[in-house]
Structure 1
Amino acid sequence: MTLVDEILEEAGFSKIAIEAVKSGKLHYGGSLDAASDKELSVKLAFHLKAELDGAKEIFLASPKKKEYDPTVESLGMIAEDGGDGTLDDFSGIILTNEKVMEKLYRSASSHAGSDLNLAKDEIAMFKKCTTHEEVEHCLRQILLDRFRAYRAHGLAGIKPYVRGSKEFSTAEELKKQIQAGGKPPTRSAVFNKYVVEYPNNPPAGVEESFFWVNSIIDSKPTIALVHRVGMPHDGGYVYMERHFYLSRSHNCLQGFGAALPVEDGAVVLYLTRTSTDQVGGLGSTAKRAIGNKLMGSRMADNFERARAVLAAAVAEKEMDKLKL
């Protein structure tokens, strides 16, 4: 049986942090070694004195992110049947703050990359829109196209974002995040290999889900396409959450989680990296330090709310309620 200390030391937690986790507290363990000058990162852990028989439901099933993340306005599952998805999967996406968002998308061609993440052909599509309804329909079509390309080709299917006269490769940024700071905390070499090579050569027992999330950031709707993939491992469960498209504010996000059995229960770990242009360039070190603290505090609050739901349901053995 794995020891709590061993798992947390491997993930870079201090002895003080380890003792806090072992006492039953959630611990914000600080940031990770940066993959680039655009990155913010957080590592979190907590110890549950209970078995996690339903870990798959916790990590993979229909998400309840809206219940513990106050920035989330709406979300929906994509291609629950495992197929190619349809426009109906995105029908719940509404661009509030209509005048601002309509102007932003319809004028995207003149300031590509300033506040939107779009490819060249996507900018051309929005340029043809004449109404807010057409903008929303165009966005839904682009999200469906991006989902299908990623589902078929993985990282290689992700279109780059226009950045003025240049392009930003989300795929390369996600690869850097996996490679930075050593291996993810999954303790599963086959899983770590698969998340790079996805969708090729899936290991036995691996499952996935997709959904979109509409969050309000800086008073503007911000859409994320999210891929979750997980599998049982060594008596526990390992998983990855990848935001392979974000409409604005950030470039991408990638987190690795593990619910691993220990001598008196389970340790739950989550390490996440977020790429954003807001902390790059001149003074990036100072901006990342401030950003890491702010993001870490917010994620710790959200994780604490999620942990409370998890701990209560584990105690009551109501694993069907654990759809985080």
Structure 2
Amino acid sequence: MVMFRKFRGLPRLPTWMLFVLPVLAAAAADRPVTEVLGIADLGGLDQGEIVSYDVREPTDKTLAAGLAMYVEAPPERLIAAVRNGALLMGDSDVIAAGIFLPAGGPEALNGFEFGPSDAEEAEALSEVEPGSEFNFSAAEMQGFRALARTLAHVSETEKLRLLSRRYREVLWQRLDGYRRYGADAIEPYARSGGATVDVAAELRTFTEQSAVLRHYAPELQAALLRFPAPSDAASTLQWVERKVEGRPTVILVHQMVQPKAGGALVAVRDFYVGHSFNSSQMVLGILPYRQGSLVFYSHCTSTDQVAGVGAGLKHAIGRERLRAVMFGRMERLKASVR
């Protein structure tokens, strides 16, 4: 069983933030959103092109990028498309997905199951050790190895079934902890040499240092930091199985939608990822602009793969790959309202 860190109550915002955030939001309202984001290619934007802007990378493990586009459709149509899964629809890397209903239980994960083509991945799970191959806590890894010791004489089909069930149990424990206690319940990933990855700290950093949230939705910023405390933002939890670097992985996702100035801001955080990267958080803004909507998309991802020797080159390559994924999502969103 996963052991959660001692719960210390809902995270509190520093007192100064409670006064400063509304002031910042009011000041931003007097500046064009394109100026706040730092969008330089206004001509391309107004012609309907997807243009880029810079997003600060708060740690040496962070990849960050921003994209924006003008869409000749009202904000409500785009917001409805996002709620209906437009960012995932048509993504060839997505294998399966499901929603966790408020009163639901672990049965929501029944759509995840290793198949014969996943035998190599399942075999690696049965031998998992602290390192970079998988993202599990030390206790979760011990659970997989303990199960593996009982599988010596079972068929391959049964082995896949039992390893899938164990994986679903891990996912459910992480999901249930997060929805009850928020980021404080996220178990760190175990790495070699006794090192760990503190996903909760990463997500807090992404949220606290988000210029978009600070300027346009301080109430959404506070809701993310205080989750699961009540807020005006609509909250959804889901799981997505997708191919990442050619391997199947399950991602646990939290989405919050905050109405704003005739549009909305949407925050999506990946608070558990099976492998390849540690966590990520995107903020999607949909606001009235000209005869339609301005859509802006800022994304921060944490990965161990870009730190250390050659970090500059690794970041440049990783940033371009991230932009490519983001570009595909923006194109799918735009196509969904044509």
Partner of 1:182: 211
Matched, 1:173 2:202: yes
Partner of 1:322: none
Partner of 2:82: 59
The runs of 5 or more residues in structure 2 that have no matched partner are 1-27, 152-158
2:87–2:332 CA contact under 8 A, matched in 1: no
Amino acid of the residue matched to residue 197 of structure 1?
R
- Whole-angstrom CA distance in 1 between matches of 2:182 and 2:203: 11
Amino acid of the residue matched to residue 173 of structure 1?
E
RMSD of Structure 2 on Structure 1 (CA): 2.1
1:303 is paired with a residue whose SS is helix
Select the residue among 51, 64, 73 that pairs with 1:27: 51
- Whole-angstrom CA distance in 1 between matches of 2:75 and 2:33: 16
Matched, 1:264 2:283: no
2:94–2:240 CA contact under 8 A, matched in 1: yes
Amino acid of the residue matched to residue 196 of structure 1?
L
2:216 is paired with a residue whose SS is coil
**Residues 177-256 of structure 1 mapped to structure 2, 5 A cutoff:** 177-180=206-209, 182-184=211-213, 187-203=216-232, 206-256=233-283
- Whole-angstrom CA distance in 1 between matches of 2:67 and 2:91: 16
Partner deviation per Cα, 1:149-177 (whole Å, 9 max, x = no partner): 11111111111100121211001011111
- Whole-angstrom CA distance in 1 between matches of 2:38 and 2:249: 32
Q: Which moved more, 1:236-245 or 1:63-72?
A: 63-72
2:68–2:295 CA contact under 8 A, matched in 1: yes
- Whole-angstrom CA distance in 2 between matches of 1:105 and 1:176: 30
Amino acid of the residue matched to residue 33 of structure 1?
R
Partner deviation per Cα, 1:127-184 (whole Å, 9 max, x = no partner): 1222221110011111111111111111111111001212110010111112336343
2:64–2:301 CA contact under 8 A, matched in 1: yes
Partner deviation per Cα, 1:36-91 (whole Å, 9 max, x = no partner): 11111221111123322245423334x25443322111111122xx22x3222111
Partner of 1:287: 314
- Whole-angstrom CA distance in 2 between matches of 1:107 and 1:38: 27
Select the residue among 62, 69, 72 that pairs with 1:49: 72
Select the residue among 4, 7, 10 that pairs with 2:36: 10
Q: CA deviation at 1:104?
A: 1.4
- Whole-angstrom CA distance in 2 between matches of 1:257 and 1:302: 11
Aligned residues: 299
The runs of 5 or more residues in structure 1 that have no matched partner are 313-324
- Whole-angstrom CA distance in 2 between matches of 1:176 and 1:185: 13
Partner of 1:87: 106
1:186–1:257 CA contact under 8 A, matched in 2: no
- Whole-angstrom CA distance in 2 between matches of 1:276 and 1:168: 10
Partner of 1:321: none
1:212–1:226 CA contact under 8 A, matched in 2: yes
Matched, 1:100 2:126: no
- Whole-angstrom CA distance in 2 between matches of 1:104 and 1:54: 44
1:128 is paired with a residue whose SS is helix
Q: Which moved more, 1:179-188 or 1:115-124?
A: 179-188
Compared CA separation, residues 199 and 224, structure 1 to 2 (3 A): same
- Whole-angstrom CA distance in 1 between matches of 2:199 and 2:62: 12
Select the residue among 77, 90, 115 that pairs with 1:68: 90
Amino acid of the residue matched to residue 26 of structure 1?
I
- Whole-angstrom CA distance in 2 between matches of 1:89 and 1:181: 32
Q: CA deviation at 1:4?
A: 12
**Rg: which structure is higher?**
2
Amino acid of the residue matched to residue 91 of structure 2?
D
Q: CA deviation at 1:33?
A: 1.4
- Whole-angstrom CA distance in 1 between matches of 2:291 and 2:190: 50
- Whole-angstrom CA distance in 1 between matches of 2:52 and 2:236: 27
Q: Which moved more, 1:301-310 or 1:165-174?
A: 301-310
2:76 is paired with a residue whose SS is coil
Give the alignment's TM-score, normalised by structure 2. 0.82
Amino acid of the residue matched to residue 201 of structure 2?
E
Partner deviation per Cα, 1:83-120 (whole Å, 9 max, x = no partner): 2x322211111234333112211111xx3132100012
Give the alignment's TM-score, normalised by structure 1. 0.86
Compared CA separation, residues 90 and 4, structure 1 to 2 (3 A): farther
